[in-house]
Amino acid sequence: MNKDTRIYIAGHRGMVGSAIWRTLTGKGYTNLIGKTSTELDLRSQTQVAIFFETEKPEVIIDAAARVGGILANNNYPYQFLMENMQIQNNLIDFSLKADVQKFIFLGSSCIYPKLAPQPLKEEYLLTGPLEPTNEWYALAKIAGVKSCEAIRKQFGKDYISLMPTNLYGTYDNFDLNTSHVLPAMMRKFHEAKENGNTPVELWGSGTPMREFLFVDDLADAVIFALENKFQENLYNVGTGTDLTIKELAELIQNAVGHTGEILWDSSKPDGTPRKLMDVSKMEQEGWKAKVGLKEGIQLTYQWYLKNQETFKQVKL
C-alpha cells in the first residue's frame, strides 16, 4: 500500500466515511476519491460502471449504506433491503471486474442472530433468526459479507468484512426521532441543562448492557486492515467491554454537566438484554481500540457544542 494508492471511500461524508477520510489524510495518503450521492448514485449499475472506468480506483472502502433506526427499518423494509444490496453489489461486482485487489466492506453487529450467545463471535453468523426490527438491513449486510467471502475463496483477492459494534462520535446523528441511544441521550441532557437542569426522561429500566466504539477507532481499524493482510474474511471491531444503559446515562450526564434528575420510564421496552462483541480475532491480528468511553463522550460533546446548527437530519 503506497501513500498515492487511489483509494475510493464510498460514503465519505457520513460519520464513518468522514472519519476514515480524516484518518487516511492524517497518515499521509494523498490520492483519496470521494463522490457525493448526487455525483454518483451507487444504486445505479450504469453510473458505477462509468465511475470505475474513469476513476480507476485501486482500493475500495465501502462505508456507504441506507441506515436508520427501528421506525425507519419497520416502515421501509424494501428500501433497506434492496438499496443496500444495490449499493454493495455494484461496488463489489465492479471491483472484481476491475481487478481491484483490496476491498473493505463495513457492516454491523446486527448481522448476528438475535439470541446468539454473548459475546458475539464471528462463527455465530447464520446460526439463528435475526432481530425482526432490523432484519432487512441485516440481510443485505450478510449478503455483502458472503459476497466478499466468495470472491476471496474463488479468486484469492484480499476482500474482507469488518463488523463494528455501536458507533458514536463526531458527525453523529443527533435527531431525536432517528438517532441512536448515545447521541439521543447527549442531546436530551444538553437541552435539559439549558432549560435549568430539568429532569430527563429515558426509556426502559437502564439495565440492558451495550458496547460503544468511538468512530475514530473504527477508522483506525479500517486503515490497519488496509495496511495489513488478514488471515480470514470476517472480523468484529469493538472494545470488548460493555456497560449498562444507566451507567452510560450517568457518564453522558456528567460530561454535559446536567445536574437534574434522571427518570426511567420502565413501561418502554428495554430491547436485547446484552449485546457484546468478541474482538479476540481482531486483537490476534494486532489491533485494539484506543479511545475510552469517557474520553470519547467528552470529544463527542465538544463537537456537538460547536455544530448544533448543522446536525445531520435523516430524511426518507
Domain holding 247, by residue range, is 7-310
Q: Is 296 within the bounds of a domain?
A: yes
203 assigned ligand-binding residue:
yes
217 assigned ligand-binding residue:
no
195 assigned ligand-binding residue:
no
Q: Which of 112, 137, 235, 304 is catalytic?
A: 137
pLDDT truncated to tens, each residue of the chain (316 aa)?
899 999 999 999 999 999 999 999 999 999 999 999 999 999 999 999 999 999 999 999 999 998 877 677 778 999 999 999 999 999 999 999 999 999 999 999 999 999 999 999 999 999 999 988 889 999 999 999 999 999 999 999 999 999 999 999 999 988 887 788 999 999 999 999 999 999 999 999 999 999 999 999 999 999 999 999 999 999 999 999 999 999 999 999 999 999 999 999 999 888 778 889 999 999 999 999 999 999 999 999 999 999 887 655 443 3
Q: Is 316 within the bounds of a domain?
A: no
- pTM assigned to the model: 0.94
Q: Is 1 within the bounds of a domain?
A: no
Number of domains within the chain: 1
185 residue type, one letter = M
13 assigned ligand-binding residue:
yes
Q: What is the CATH number of the domain that holds 190?
A: 3.40.50.720
Q: Is 268 within the bounds of a domain?
A: yes
Q: Is 19 within the bounds of a domain?
A: yes
Q: Is 171 a catalytic residue?
A: no
Q: Is 287 within the bounds of a domain?
A: yes
Q: pLDDT tens digit string along 256-303? A: 999 999 999 999 888 778 889 999 999 999 999 999 999 999 999 999
43 assigned ligand-binding residue:
no
What is residue 272's predicted lDDT score, i.e. its pLDDT?
A: 78
Contact (Cβ atoms closer than 8 angstroms) between residue 139 and residue 95: no
3-state SS, 229-242, equals CCCCCEEEECCCCC
Q: Is 137 within the bounds of a domain?
A: yes
Q: Is 300 within the bounds of a domain?
A: yes
17 assigned ligand-binding residue:
yes
* Closest alpha carbon to 79 in 67, 69, 71: 67
How many whole angstroms from its chain centre is CA 292? 17
